[in-house]
Amino acid sequence: MSRGDEAGTSPGLVVVISGPGGVGKDTLIEQLLARDPRLRYSVSYTTRPRRDYEVDGEHYSFVDRAAFRRLLAEGELLEHATINGHLYGTSGRRLDEARADGHDVIVKIDVHGAEQMRRKRPEAVYIFIKPPSMDELLRRRIERATETPREIAARQRLAEVEMGFADRYDHVVVNDDAERAVAEIRRIVESQRSTGREPAGTR
Ligand code: 5GP
């Protein structure tokens, strides 16, 4: 029998999603959440300034560096990383609260955060999202127009480094088409649910 057929029966899966900035992770995650009521999103803390379209507490919890350091000192963060000079971290408490309700939780983190997660939550499912090509990634990044040319160049360099971590993930999904990529991720999640893999984070 598949594990946790109803929310509340057992702690949920942790689904870690990484991939270079601009690859479309947010859109994929949005669609996954819209289609699968058992999925929840782990809202990270960040010191990055909020973008116009972002909602505090929904996309991120926006904090200053002092508050972030406090969270770290209090052991609230399961993992954290500095990306383009800004701090990002996952709240272990928020993650486990959602899982305790039987929800499967999507965690969007960079490759270094995923390295830390692998040590603490080896049972999680690790998915890397790749662009069809690096040129396509650059094109999407420019199109998104949320970054200055300098940031665009820095993020593209960072993307090259991140791509080098792809083979450390359980699954690599190419975001050539959002519909197709979402369907592929859903199949991965379904398959993890039905294999009854030991619930993440119980060790
Ligand atoms: P952005 O600033 O564009 O929202 O995110 C930049 C990068 O930060 C993303 O590629 C994402 O993977 C990463 N990120 C977001 N939240 C976290 C987090 O809590 N921990 C880590 N390690 N990385 C994160």
CATH of the domain at 90: 3.40.50.300
Q: Ligand 1 within 6 A of 21 CB?
A: yes
Report yes or no on 202 lying in a domain.
no
Residue 1 pLDDT level (bands cut at 50, 70, 90): very low
Report yes or no on 7 lying in a domain.
no
Report yes or no on 119 lying in a domain.
yes
Report yes or no on 120 lying in a domain.
yes
The rounded distance, in Å, linking the Cα atoms of 168 and 165 is: 6
* Assessment of whether the complete model's pTM goes beyond 0.85: yes
Full domain range(s) for residue 128: 13-195
Report yes or no on 8 lying in a domain.
no
Report yes or no on 110 lying in a domain.
yes
Report yes or no on 2 lying in a domain.
no
Q: Ligand 1 within 6 A of 109 CB?
A: yes
Mind listing the pLDDT tens digit for each residue in 148-186? 888 889 889 999 999 999 999 999 999 999 999 999 999
Domain count, the chain: 1
Mind listing the pLDDT tens digit for each residue in 19-70? 998 899 999 999 999 999 999 999 999 999 999 999 999 999 999 999 999 9
Report yes or no on 201 lying in a domain.
no
Measured in degrees and rounded to the nearest 5, phi and psi for residue 17 equal: -120, 120
The rounded distance, in Å, linking the Cα atoms of 52 and 54 is: 6
Q: Which atom of ligand 1 is closest in space to residue 80's alpha carbon? A: 22
Q: Ligand 1 within 6 A of 31 CB?
A: no
